[in-house]
Structure 1
Amino acid sequence: MTLPLLFDTQGHVARITLNRPERHNAKTPEMICRLADAFDRFESDAELRVAVVTGAGTRSFCSGGDLELTLPLLSGARKPETEWDHRLVANRDTLFRSTLKGPVLAKPMIAAINGHCLAGGFELMLGCDIRIASETARFGLPEVRHALIPFAGTLARLHRQIPYAAAMELLLTGDQIEAGQALDWGLINRAVPQDRVLPAAMELANRIAGYGPLALAELKRATAKAVGHTLEDGFAIETASMDRIMASEDAREGPRAFMERRPPQYRGV
């Protein structure tokens, strides 16, 4: 049986693949639960330092929640039938963990956007730190066209990541934008040819995974925590991070390895 979500590793990098290309990788209750579990697995495995999230096929990264299975379940229009349905309904945190809504994962996340990135797929992208997209990818939040709203972090995240007016245009119209516009707004980091999306994301992930894991985690933690604080408070958050990192063995190993002209051996301590 083909699983709707794939999890594989390459050294210190995890690759998480939404695997329903025939349905534009739309998320079913099973996929949502498996995705939440995959993020938990990634976060708890000390050997894994960076994750790449992508979609199977060439048409879509993710088109959002399945309109036949997932959205009716969440609205109450469909009663739970499977074990995945019951799990999702019983614990709403599963839904939020699957879209990175909640406590910030300590490890870097890269989205390899190989096609259309819509609705819940768009929201998943917003939870990732770096986004590599196909030149032919399209982005949008069509929820309002179906009398719905985004609820997986977008209303808190989007206006912090792109200009307010741009965010409201996406939210209120449900229109899609092309990769070039997403790049101009800073929604993605780069747009590359279709066949370079996953290789470029994996190359970047492997490079980042070679850095000190404590420093990577502290960079994410402090940056996320400083959002919305005064500059003075932000400096205090940064200084606390500095104290934690400078007391680590990795902070001694990095400069030492550089001076000795050898690859560093980071242990995450």
Structure 2
Amino acid sequence: MGGTEHLTVERVGATLVLTLNRPEVKNALSLPMLVGLWDGWVEADQDDAIRSVVLTGSGGTFCSGMDLKALADDGRLDGQQYRARLTADPDLHWKAMLRHHRPRKPVIAAVEGHCVAGGTEMLQGTDIRIAGESAVFGLYEVRRGLFPIGGSTVRLARQIPRTHALEMLLTGRPYSAAEAERIGLIGHVVPDGAAREKALEIAELINASGPLAVEAVKASVYETAELTEAAGLASELERGWPIFATSDAKEGARAFAEKRPADYRRA
């Protein structure tokens, strides 16, 4: 497992937990954090023992976006020792924030506290979202004379109703967890401090399912999102039919008949 001074990595069963770890500045983005995130997504994609990922933050907060104070001071993010990584891969920060990368494993966001600006943008790259009841969301960029270039002007209106997306984008106002759930930005609101626990609970359900089936289902949902219904249904068959021929599919049927947990082998 990797990790950096601003991003911790741990395994909880078959779940990889990535924790933004810069609580003194509400987990504002830094080069060490972005490098650690990208390495975490790569690890999740490449290691078949990992079946799900939980993305969360330390210190009772998720992410407050770009470090505006550091940018105002000298235009440079903390962790310049990682500059060579960004030079070698100029797209690294966008992949780390899930703008230019979609992990093949399900990603569950466990949000506490602030999840604003770049935090809300990164959230849109996750698949399932849980928040503590005091969590705060919002795209504050226009209030700072900035543009939410992490993908929100494209993704948000595809994930929630356009009227809500435009209000969030154009007003830059904060949203409570309750309102974020009501408009469909998140799926669950739990007591403060319980978001990670709920995320791991959902991850366990995913981990107990057939991994080939899980990954194919996730891929199909995203691949067909912008297709016509006819094209989407055709694409679904291409993704779905091969799953029925796998050993895992046969094992799932046997386990059901024998009333026991399935032992999936990714085969």
Partner of residue 21 from structure 2, selected from 19, 22, 31: 19
Asked if 1:267 corresponds to 2:256, the answer is: no
**Cα offset for 1:79?**
9.4
Give the Cα–Cα distance (whole angstroms) in 2 for the partners of residues 219 and 79 of structure 1.
38
Aligned pairs, how many?
Answer: 264
**Cα offset for 1:68?**
3.3
Asked if 1:66 corresponds to 2:64, the answer is: no
Give the Cα–Cα distance (whole angstroms) in 2 for the partners of residues 160 and 72 of structure 1.
36
Cα gap change, 1:153/1:244 in structure 2, threshold over 3 Å: closer, same or farther? farther
8 Å contact kept, 1:27–1:70: no
Give the Cα–Cα distance (whole angstroms) in 2 for the partners of residues 96 and 71 of structure 1.
21
Partner of residue 200 from structure 2, selected from 199, 202, 209: 202
Higher mean alpha-carbon deviation, 198-207 vs 82-91, is at 82-91
Partner of residue 174 from structure 1, selected from 172, 175, 178: 172
Give the Cα–Cα distance (whole angstroms) in 2 for the partners of residues 223 and 70 of structure 1.
38
Deviation string, structure 1 residues 48-84 (Cα, Å, up to 9, x no partner): 00000100012x21001111346888xxx44998232
8 Å contact kept, 2:113–2:136: yes
Give the Cα–Cα distance (whole angstroms) in 2 for the partners of residues 227 and 8 of structure 1.
32
8 Å contact kept, 1:136–1:194: yes
Match in the other structure for 2:102? 104
Match in the other structure for 2:183? 185
8 Å contact kept, 2:30–2:77: no
8 Å contact kept, 1:104–1:221: no
What is the SS of the residue equivalent to 1:194? coil
Cα gap change, 1:232/1:132 in structure 2, threshold over 3 Å: closer, same or farther? same
- Structure 1 runs not aligned, ≥5 long: none
Partner of residue 235 from structure 1, selected from 226, 233, 240: 233
Cα gap change, 1:7/1:29 in structure 2, threshold over 3 Å: closer, same or farther? same
Cα gap change, 1:236/1:87 in structure 2, threshold over 3 Å: closer, same or farther? same
Cα gap change, 1:208/1:80 in structure 2, threshold over 3 Å: closer, same or farther? closer
Deviation string, structure 1 residues 5-58 (Cα, Å, up to 9, x no partner): 100001111111001111100011111111111111111111000000100012
The 5 A counterparts of 1:67-86 are 67-69=68-70, 77-78=75-76, 82-86=80-84
8 Å contact kept, 2:142–2:171: yes
Deviation string, structure 1 residues 101-130 (Cα, Å, up to 9, x no partner): 224211100000011100111111111110
Using the size of structure 1 for normalisation, the TM-score is 0.93
Give the Cα–Cα distance (whole angstroms) in 2 for the partners of residues 147 and 155 of structure 1.
15
The 5 A counterparts of 1:106-145 are 106-145=104-143
Give the Cα–Cα distance (whole angstroms) in 2 for the partners of residues 161 and 149 of structure 1.
19
Deviation string, structure 1 residues 152-189 (Cα, Å, up to 9, x no partner): 22222100011111111111111111111101101100
**Cα offset for 1:267?**
0.7
Give the Cα–Cα distance (whole angstroms) in 2 for the partners of residues 152 and 71 of structure 1.
19
Using the size of structure 2 for normalisation, the TM-score is 0.93
1:57 aligned partner, one-letter code: G
Give the Cα–Cα distance (whole angstroms) in 2 for the partners of residues 32 and 62 of structure 1.
12
8 Å contact kept, 1:29–1:69: no
8 Å contact kept, 1:104–1:224: no
2:26 aligned partner, one-letter code: H
Match in the other structure for 1:41? 43
Give the Cα–Cα distance (whole angstroms) in 1 for the partners of residues 122 and 79 of structure 2.
26
8 Å contact kept, 1:29–1:70: no
Match in the other structure for 1:7? 9
Identity of aligned residues (%): 41
Give the Cα–Cα distance (whole angstroms) in 1 for the partners of residues 50 and 77 of structure 2.
38
Cα gap change, 1:81/1:235 in structure 2, threshold over 3 Å: closer, same or farther? closer
